[in-house]
């Protein structure tokens, strides 16, 4: 890695590195929070929980992942425009579990 001339970084020092996607998210891919991804995180084991808006239940869906940032992951296969996914508490979900949408102020805040 090439070190910037105006920065001195010695062993034992830490730094924050911010990464940006090198190419834009296409019409067929979605940038989702890392917290929405369940499973091992590799292409063959990653999944998201999709909400069935009519039944108000969730089901797991396998997805293929693309580039990542520190807070988000690009889903390049497995999601469609307009689908809603769960972004928090995915470790508590089971297939067919009833859910409801959270809106600001629901918890009295």
Residues in CB range of 40: below 8 A, 6 or more apart: 46
The residue to which tokens 């959270």 are assigned? 102
Q: Per-10-residue mean pLDDT for the chain, 109 residues long?
A: 62 51 63 86 75 92 90 90 88 89 61
The pLDDT value given to residue 17: 47
* The model's pTM: 0.69
Give residue 60's pLDDT.
95
Which pair of structure tokens corresponds to residue 51?
């909400």
Separation CA 98–CA 109 (nearest Å): 24
């Amino acid at each position: 890695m090439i070190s910037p001339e105006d920065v001195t970084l010695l062993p034992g020092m830490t730094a924050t590195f911010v990464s940006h996607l090198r190419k834009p998210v296409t019409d067929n891919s979605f940038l989702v929070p890392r917290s929405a991804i369940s499973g091992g995180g590799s292409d063959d084991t990653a999944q998201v929980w999709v909400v069935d808006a009519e039944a108000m239940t969730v089901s797991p869906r396998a997805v293929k992942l693309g580039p990542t940032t520190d807070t988000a992951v690009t889903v390049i296969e497995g999601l469609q425009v307009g689908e809603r996914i769960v972004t928090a508490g995915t470790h508590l979900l089971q297939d067919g579990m009833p859910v409801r949408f959270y809106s600001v102020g629901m918890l009295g805040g």
